[in-house]
Amino acid sequence: MTKFKKISKRIALVLLIVIPISALAHFIIFPQQTRSILISYSGFNKDGRLYFNNNTPQNKVDTVNQLIELAANRVAGFWGQKTCNPKYIYCESEEDFKKYGSPYSVPALTHIKLGAYIVISNEGIDLDIIAHEIAHAEFYERLGFYNWSFKIPSWFDEGLAMQNDNRDYYSEDTLKARSNNYKNLPDIKKLKSGKQFNEEGTHEQIMLNFMTARLEVKNWYTKEKLDKLIKDINAGKSFDEAFGK
């Protein structure tokens, strides 16, 4: 046996051991994300990019598909074009949403790894909510996994997604009323991790985070600034270097 063949066999043996162990570890740490990545093997029905339990009524499937199309067009209008092509998982039951989405009380969320997977609950059947999640996927598509995951602070990612989210209770009028005419705003730029932004504090405080991030990004945003920020981060700059003061 040649030296090359011996090395190849050793590599193959290592991979046969490492890959299953890594997959099991990923499932233990990220069970919802792992199930979403493997949605094609779940037994769910499929209609285009939308997956759903076979007990789901057809009218629900049609409604979700229609909202996805409208939301995707809205996001494409914001960015100039749509480049992302996520998979969508509609969970009609709370049990399914806990399996694929989140055990926490959120209407929808986006898993980012080996692509984007947008998981929608019954409460998430809403144009603004779906547009918000597609906006996350679009930003990820333009940055790649590493830059999106490790360089972008949560306050900016959520604030950018909120530019496509027109829910009344996140409006500037609501923010003005709840912050004493903008005097009591959270120090939003300190909320860099998803846990800091979405989990720490009361429900009212977390909603205030979203409203403040929305306003912060709106006041900063121009298409040129966003395009340059993405270009600079993809060229190796940190978020702070690309965002500036």
Domain termination residue (choose one: 80, 108, 143): 143
Domain termination residue (choose one: 143, 175, 195): 143
204 & 129 share domain? no
- The count of structural domains within the chain is 2
118 & 39 share domain? yes
Q: What's the DSSP call for residue 238? A: -
Quick one: which of 52, 76, 54, 74 has its CA closest to 64?
52
Residue 52's domain comprises: 30-143
Average pLDDT over residues 182-195: 90
The model's pLDDT over 44-70, given as tens digits with 9 standing for 90+, comes to: 999 999 999 999 999 999 999 999 999
22 occurs within a structural domain: no
Average pLDDT over residues 181-191: 91
1 occurs within a structural domain: no
72 occurs within a structural domain: yes
185 & 125 share domain? no
155 & 139 share domain? no
Phi and psi at residue 89, to the nearest 5°:
-125, 110
**Which residues, other chains included, contact 21 with Cβ-Cβ below 8 Å and sequence gap of 6+?**
none
106 & 193 share domain? no
What is the domain-level CATH number for residue 137? Answer: 3.30.2010
Q: Indicate the pLDDT class of residue 202, thresholds 50, 70 and 90.
A: confident
Q: Which two tokens stand for residue 136?
A: 């996350």
Q: Where are the alpha helices (DSSP H) in 151-238?
A: 154-161, 172-178, 194-198, 203-220, 223-234
Q: Which two tokens stand for residue 5?
A: 């063949």
The model's pLDDT over 133-149, given as tens digits with 9 standing for 90+, comes to: 999 999 999 999 999 99
137 & 157 share domain? no
| End-to-end alpha carbon distance in the chain | 62
* pLDDT reported for residue 18: 44
9 occurs within a structural domain: no
Quick one: which of 51, 71, 72 has its CA closest to 61?
51
Residue at 140: amino acid letter: Y
126 & 93 share domain? yes
132 & 184 share domain? no
- pLDDT, greater one: 32 or 52: 52
126 & 40 share domain? yes
Domain termination residue (choose one: 143, 169, 200): 143
Average pLDDT over residues 229-243: 96
118 & 176 share domain? no
Give the Cα separation of 173 and 170 in Å (integer).
8
